Structure 1
């Protein structure tokens, strides 16, 4: 029996997906796991096979079986304008057709983009462009070590900062391997990470300012940087407790530790100044990626000129053949122009808030143990009876089985988001009030079904 045969296994009852199943079987013969990123794999929740996409337009996506969805997956976040945004798409096409792609020499467009980023984010005085968030985090931690002369990095359980060996630890560790709550042990994401790297990592639970203060008091002289998302977006959506980011900023300054904000997800999504703008915090270094390119691959790392001076002199190397390539620069310049449109973020928040509050109401009316946590166009549904403030809370209290049933019910009704509770729902500027109403109508049906079978 072929386990991917839709006669024997379906993503969701009533969803036509035979073609996706067939294509996945073929892909598995050539591509390990049948996909090119872990987040699309069966073990990430796309079980027994992922949907294969035909195309997307605006806030909607169509799969190869002809199913059409309201898309809240949005490529895991980059599609802040939805699919195929005309202005960004045309800018890339024009650049390729009239100028080229990769020159290994600078263009004036790079400085124009840097000027826009510096103008948008108050903490960024200078910026270098990269290709991915992984690259940008790697460079930020290297720069922090070079600047401070220290080796250790503080990172938090449940966060993902890319897949480089230096930080690919304690993303979602098994709690029986992760040590006590107040003194977590560094757990590699998987085999193949060199032994000894963990000696340069201090793993902490998020949202515990007292523990961070104690750690910096005891080890501050060894710590180069505190690396954090300002909103935890890689264990669902977990907001900072009131005063936590402020305490983090004060503590790192007091101990001469570089504060790095990983805004790969939140940057240019929660506002032109990202989450740091929303919360009024100025980190020393910031990393951006998904929101900056309007769906094209581009990233950036920037911050205080005093730190970036080490890059200016070549003391700290930031290299890459494809860094600031023509496609990335054209896309990011057009995207930032679009994001500077008056009222854009206010409208995006209005639509997003209607979805978040509407889902909260629907789930509450059904009597389900659920909450919808988020900020602006970033959110997740937690099925839990206890509040979730960090990764261990999520592991102990989140009902992953109920979330799976929620996802299947919504998918069958034409609403797409990631099947994993540790991912997020994203809203784009292309989503309309009508999309939200259709989503809430589907949610009401699914919530009623879940409540009846509880």
Structure 2
């Protein structure tokens, strides 16, 4: 069977290629984020987009795609949700954009977030997930008077120096699984900050318990995604989040949930609701604004007390601007629709199980891990429970070939195995059917290329 991608992609995306060459003249690397460049999987060049509507997106060459990238997660309500868009436009027309002072819409938005999330009693709005995580980590140090932060391999908590460590790390540099070494993930991160971090293997009960017995009184906070969504999709083993909660409480350390991706996506109350584990602090972005740029840090009143009395400065000119708060308020209203998450999780599960079945029917070893509205199809030779398993077990090249065959058939998601497919709350059965039909054809290509059926 012929290889579709190599022949079809250049023909289908001529204007994207031309725009990429033009962009490189004035934009470093040709894109506004390193995550959109060829070195991050978008080969031979990224698609340039024209517009998105609902669950579909169209590139500058006129190709339409069922969109499971969704801006890397923010498009929880699809593209250009009319309710949220109208609320933002109306707020700008009636109020303005940014005052540098509080206003009532900010209260309204915060009240709705607090009402949605169990255990969150107060919230401050910010501008990016990285910013919110950096604030949460520093606030934990300020609150506890301690300096050590515990984080886990394979999890990405943004680009700030304090947490930009041990993400997709070279295991030769990281050392043994029971006590990994912190490894800075980018140039310019001061090596001295490694002494403020303890890195562990995720889903390893024994190493975490041992650390807390030995050094619990030195630890300011443990930060984790409640489900790892920055190395594909890796779910917590039963009891693991509960262990993190109980051990941090015993040690007087804080537990921080990075819900930049899981927040408002897996349930209206995020991981708090879905897993029933309540951390001290939680960071949000992506889904909280229905596609608009907004982030937040939330927590109990006790966890937020230093912000509340001004002892800790959480500042930002654009914090809680009108666009953000209008988007959050409208999004929270839409997410309150009865049965919405149950319906869309079931839709996502139909897609996920369908993809797994098609792969297996073609003799391809692949399986799905997910939470309904976000999942990954692992091309793997065994179970993936942490970053080290992902390195050892996955066949990344096969996944990328699958992406290539899907994108020329009108289905878009991230080309790398260690990302995810996002299902919005507006995808429908037609989207799922179109995707499964494309998968049936693309898996036949993979089976032929990789020596299976």
TM bin, normalised by shorter chain, reads over 0.9
2:133 corresponds to 1:140: no
2:289 corresponds to 1:293: yes
CA–CA distance in 1 between the matches of 2:395 and 2:276? 33
2:80 corresponds to 1:91: no
Residue of structure 2 equivalent to 1:329: 325
Other structure's SS at 1:70 match: strand
Partner of residue 402 from structure 1, selected from 394, 398, 408:
398
CA–CA distance in 1 between the matches of 2:32 and 2:98? 24
Other structure's SS at 2:45 match: coil
1:197-241: CA deviation from partner (whole Å, max 9, x where unpaired): 010000111001111011111111211000000000000110111
2:146 corresponds to 1:150: yes
Q: Are the aligned partners of 2:229 and 2:420 in contact in 1 as well (CA < 8 Å)? A: yes
CA–CA distance in 2 between the matches of 1:356 and 1:251? 34
2:120 corresponds to 1:120: no
Partner of residue 28 from structure 2, selected from 12, 16, 32:
32
Using the TM superposition, give the Cα deviation of residue 253 of structure 1 relative to its aligned residue in structure 2, in angstroms. 1.0
2:234 corresponds to 1:241: no
Aligned length: 445
CA–CA distance in 1 between the matches of 2:127 and 2:22? 30
Residue of structure 2 equivalent to 1:13: 7
Q: Are the aligned partners of 2:109 and 2:329 in contact in 1 as well (CA < 8 Å)? A: yes
Using the TM superposition, give the Cα deviation of residue 11 of structure 1 relative to its aligned residue in structure 2, in angstroms. 6.3
Q: Where in structure 1 are there 5+ consecutive unaligned residues?
A: 1-9
Using the TM superposition, give the Cα deviation of residue 195 of structure 1 relative to its aligned residue in structure 2, in angstroms. 2.2
Residue of structure 2 equivalent to 1:5: none
Equivalent runs, 1:249-328 vs 2, <5 Å: 249-328=245-324
Residue of structure 2 equivalent to 1:442: 438
Equivalent runs, 1:50-89 vs 2, <5 Å: 50-89=46-85
Using the TM superposition, give the Cα deviation of residue 146 of structure 1 relative to its aligned residue in structure 2, in angstroms. 1.0
Using the TM superposition, give the Cα deviation of residue 22 of structure 1 relative to its aligned residue in structure 2, in angstroms. 0.6
1:233-275: CA deviation from partner (whole Å, max 9, x where unpaired): 0001101111111111111111111000000000001111102
CA–CA distance in 2 between the matches of 1:330 and 1:421? 35
Q: Where in structure 2 are there 5+ consecutive unaligned residues?
A: none
Q: Are the aligned partners of 2:69 and 2:414 in contact in 1 as well (CA < 8 Å)? A: yes
Other structure's SS at 2:198 match: strand
Using the TM superposition, give the Cα deviation of residue 117 of structure 1 relative to its aligned residue in structure 2, in angstroms. 1.1
Using the TM superposition, give the Cα deviation of residue 12 of structure 1 relative to its aligned residue in structure 2, in angstroms. 4.8
Residue of structure 1 equivalent to 2:200: 204
TM-score in terms of structure 1 length: 0.96
Using the TM superposition, give the Cα deviation of residue 276 of structure 1 relative to its aligned residue in structure 2, in angstroms. 2.1
Other structure's SS at 1:306 match: coil
CA–CA distance in 2 between the matches of 1:351 and 1:368? 23
When the two chains are superposed, the root-mean-square deviation of aligned CA atoms in Å is: 1.1
Residue of structure 2 equivalent to 1:6: none
Q: Are the aligned partners of 2:221 and 2:256 in contact in 1 as well (CA < 8 Å)? A: yes
Using the TM superposition, give the Cα deviation of residue 353 of structure 1 relative to its aligned residue in structure 2, in angstroms. 1.2
Q: Are the aligned partners of 2:75 and 2:424 in contact in 1 as well (CA < 8 Å)? A: yes
CA–CA distance in 2 between the matches of 1:304 and 1:330? 24
2:181 corresponds to 1:185: yes
CA–CA distance in 1 between the matches of 2:191 and 2:141? 20
1:360-401: CA deviation from partner (whole Å, max 9, x where unpaired): 111121121111110020001110111000011111111111
Residue of structure 2 equivalent to 1:7: none
2:190 corresponds to 1:194: yes
CA–CA distance in 1 between the matches of 2:38 and 2:212? 40
Using the TM superposition, give the Cα deviation of residue 452 of structure 1 relative to its aligned residue in structure 2, in angstroms. 2.1
2:304 corresponds to 1:347: no
TM-score in terms of structure 2 length: 0.97
Q: Are the aligned partners of 1:68 and 1:414 in contact in 2 as well (CA < 8 Å)? A: yes
Q: Are the aligned partners of 1:154 and 1:225 in contact in 2 as well (CA < 8 Å)? A: yes
Residue of structure 1 equivalent to 2:225: 229
Q: Are the aligned partners of 2:184 and 2:191 in contact in 1 as well (CA < 8 Å)? A: no
